[in-house]
Amino acid sequence: MNKTKYAVVDLEMTGSDFDGDNRIIQIGCAFVENGKIVDTFQSKVNPQRPIPAGITKLTGITDEQVQNAPKFNDIVDEVYRKLVDTVFVAHNVEFDFPFLNQELVRSGYPELNIPAVDTVSLSQIVFSFTKGYRLRDLTSYLKIEHDDPHSADSDAIATANLLIAIKKNLQQLPIVTLERLVELGKDLPRQTLSILKDALHENKQNPQKIDVDLMVVDGVALKKPIALQTEHQADEKLVYPRGKREKEQLYNGTLSWRKLQGSIMNFTHQQFSVTEGFKKHVVIEAPTGSGKTLGYLFPLSYIAREQQRKVVVSVPTTILQNQVLAVGRQQLNAILETPMQFAILKGSSNYLNLEAFMKSITHQTLSKDSRLVAMKILVWLTKTDTGDFDEINHHINFSNFVDGIRHHGKTVLNPKSKFFEYDFYRRAMKKLKYADFIITNHRYLALHADEIGESDQQPLLVIDEAQHFPTIVSNMNQKFLDLNELMMETHRLVSRLVMNHKRNLIQATKHQPLAGFHIRRFVNSLEHINTQITEIQQKLFDKFVAPRKKNLYENQPAEIVIKNNVINQMAKHEFHQVVQELANTFIEFDALDRFFKDQELTPEIRDDWAQIKAFQSNLTKFYDAIREITDHLNQNIYWITLGPNHDPGSIRIGKEILDTGEFYRQKIEPFYHKVLLIGGTLFFEHKRSYFLDQFGLHKPETSIRTFRRGVDFENQLDFEVLQSDFTIDYESNQDQYADFLAEAIEALTRDVNRQTLVLFNSLETLRNVYNRLHDSDLNESRRIIAQGIHGSKAKIIREFNDEENAILFGAASFWEGVDFPGDRLEYLIVTRLPFRSPEDRMVQFARKNKRSSFMSFVLPDALLTFKQGIGRLIRNSDDTGVAVMLDNRIINKDYGKLFIKQLPSGVNANLGNINEVKERVNNFFNNQE
């Protein structure tokens, strides 16, 4: 086995299409034997055709560099002889191997008939915690030297070291895991399975004791659970270190003193240490980069011990839960004499159900993709303490297979199961009992605040990134009634009952008159439901859609807010009739079901009735949905959604809660002793009521503090406004607008070689501008990465961070909540002031219900978003950057002054044409060097 020689190959080509026209421009090869690189070979290749600019930008290989290089025909014999008796290995073997064989045949040589192995697939199985499976992701994760990505010789050596790491990791796996991997690996590319078989063979030939951290339970290897610490060590009375000297003494070189963070710590401790006559709510606006997470964890660790209370920390996402956990364990516990216990609280579906997983890989026929995911999970189980899918979810295919192995909570736990003691969700719940800090997410808190807060000593609550909480509460309380889907369900039932000419239930029971009687009554109710749905949709269309149809964007879905009294009237009439007819279908269905239970049914009738039962169960869901959509009318806002054609038949009804403040005061606040609301961007100017209203809070009952970042903004941030003749309004021609933006962006980024983010208000405009720039000189010289075009948000952020001189087009979520470390972002271009569209549902609602929707909602919302967008640039005290605004309304409109006021202290808005702005931008960056 050790005699196997692996040839790890990487090719750089003039293009990636197998169209016969692309050629090799560089070949790199590293040979591996006995776990070591024993030889290398590389050569640039003259492709005898121009190298596309995009390939040069990617690889750094120019026409001049290959002009005097050998043609492939000149080196083909050497390449063939070096590879012919090896195992071919590549990172994406289905690209390199066929391409090389194509070149061999073109040069008069036979295809290589040798085993071929793929390191992408093997990495997906073996490395659970890496951020991605590009070669640069893996080499970074494994700390493999990889100085020149997209150079064939560097990539080949890096891939060879990756292969060595893969084989080493496989040899450390238990035999039981390797056996399962071999069973599941039949669909791996080419002969990749041989690597797993070799590892299994070697382990059986040289059996080792299973790692002390592992155990085997019912045929699967698991990491042993970490023993819970069920009681604290006895603490003497701890004195909170208020001063800088005391904190530095406690840090003992483990952490660095940060003045702003220390101020946040002290203010938090002061507010939460008051036990009588205190204000229940503390609101802190603390800038990103201030260390606010440790800023509240540190003082609350003292308060928690002193008051014998747990602390519940809520953040917007499950990923942020893990980040808070890391700060708690790695930073807070590193400086405390007695560490705090932390527990993550998530919904059960975030966890793997071990029993369901083992049943699925043992008894089910799995697809190719599902088998790969199962193999990844088998290896992950030897490493994970939590069984939390978030550890691997950024590169796992969330297919039906994964949905089938998610945990469904306590009700599915079987005490007799061999996995009961090791069940991940059960273990997670057990940790809560002994935790000092419970870290959850906003959605889970909103759904389970009473359960989490249930305690003799009410917990303390921290809502971090509190500005996101109201939106999450609104979204999770949204309900929809899909009228078209209800009509489709009734059509399916009518077809099965009477309409299907080849086979229907009334024909099958024609000799059973009682059955026919109930079937006809059943069908009659279904047809009445269809009639009522059509009338509801037409009524809503005539009243709300027809009058404003000319204002709707063509071929795009639309939302239109409707008045509650319309729903109220429909609840009393049209919806009431639909509910009555649905109830009638239940009566007739039950009568038929009882009838058929007493009959000897043919297999055909039995099958038909089983399908009708499935359809009928869906009607029960619609019955509940109608009751739900019409409940608590005065506490909700309502709207209708339309399909791209804006036709009556596409109408469905939605609702969400009207007052998130009322929800918070009733469903969250009562269960907690004291609450900290903290975030980076909560207020605009000194106006705090917009934020407080969303929590139903008032200034007299709330302690509020805004901390300013310790940054010399005057010298670290330059803000420019492009003076142009193009004025943005909602009547602007979209093509002219896209032309204006494309020209401005190209001019502003030409020769300004800085990592650049361009913020848009809509994905449609983003796409229009990208399409104009895609074939331009700008895209030839710099990589443009665009949201909605180049993959998921996480993927394009990762790729942008990997680049040195890229331009990222982003909209919506890129205005906030995206962190680019250090010099990963230096240049920001804002295409438009971030006002919501007039057709936005919340804008419509504000117009209908508030005297001045612009001043009460539209403008405050835009000011906060603008403040967050500018905040992308300066995240830490040593960051510098330039922001350019392309929307001249910031200068020409009265409200523009309010946007300028959101700029940090010391930063002015500089106005100029393209050349003037460009000159100041270059001067600013030159002065920073």
Q: Is 290 annotated among the ligand-binding residues?
A: yes
Side-chain-facing half-sphere of 433: CA atoms under 13 Å: 8
What is the token pair recorded at 262? 């220390």
> Rounded CA gap, 660 and 474, in Å?
7
Q: Is 14 annotated among the ligand-binding residues?
A: no
Give the residue from 712, 683, 681, 741 showing the smallest Cα distance to 870. Answer: 681
Crossing angle (nearest 10°) for helices 469-476 and 660-667: 90
Assess whether 363 carries a catalytic annotation. no
Side-chain-facing half-sphere of 308: CA atoms under 13 Å: 6
Cβ neighbors of 16 (< 8 A, separation 6 or more) are 22, 95
The string of DSSP letters for 881-905 reads EEEEE--THHHHSTTHHHHHHTSPT
Cβ neighbors of 517 (< 8 A, separation 6 or more) are none
Q: Is 583 annotated among the ligand-binding residues?
A: no
Give the residue from 284, 370, 357, 300 showing the smallest Cα distance to 332. Answer: 300
Neighbours of 770 (CB within 10 A): 25
Under a CB-based contact definition with an 8 Å cutoff, are residues 9 and 112 in contact? no
Cα 889 from chain centroid (whole Å): 33
Q: Helix, strand, or coil here: 406?
A: strand
Phi, psi of 223 (to 5 degrees): -75, 135
Name the region of 231 (left: φ>0; alpha: ψ -120 to 50; beta: rest): beta
Which residue is catalytic, options 150, 394, 395, 408? 150
Give the residue from 654, 644, 501, 518 showing the smallest Cα distance to 591. Answer: 518
Q: Helix, strand, or coil here: 477?
A: coil
Cβ neighbors of 893 (< 8 A, separation 6 or more) are none
Q: Is 865 annotated among the ligand-binding residues?
A: no
Q: Is 52 annotated among the ligand-binding residues?
A: no
Sheet holding 558-562, edge to edge: 479-481, 652-657, 636-642, 558-562
Q: Is 287 annotated among the ligand-binding residues?
A: yes
Residue type at 625 in one-letter notation = A
> Rounded CA gap, 446 and 314, in Å?
10
Q: Is 291 annotated among the ligand-binding residues?
A: yes
Q: Helix, strand, or coil here: 541?
A: helix
Residue type at 486 in one-letter notation = L
What is the token pair recorded at 57? 């930008």
What is the token pair recorded at 618? 């869906």
Give the residue from 177, 224, 227, 214 showing the smallest Cα distance to 385. Answer: 224
> Rounded CA gap, 46 and 61, in Å?
11
Q: Which residues of 669-700 are buried (b: 16+ CB within 10 A; e: fewer)?
A: bebbbbbbbbbbbbbbeeebebbbbbbbbeee
Q: Is 286 annotated among the ligand-binding residues?
A: yes
Under a CB-based contact definition with an 8 Å cutoff, are residues 674 and 272 in contact? yes
Q: Tell me which residues are annotated as active site.
A: 150
- Residues within the annotated binding site for ATP? 286-293
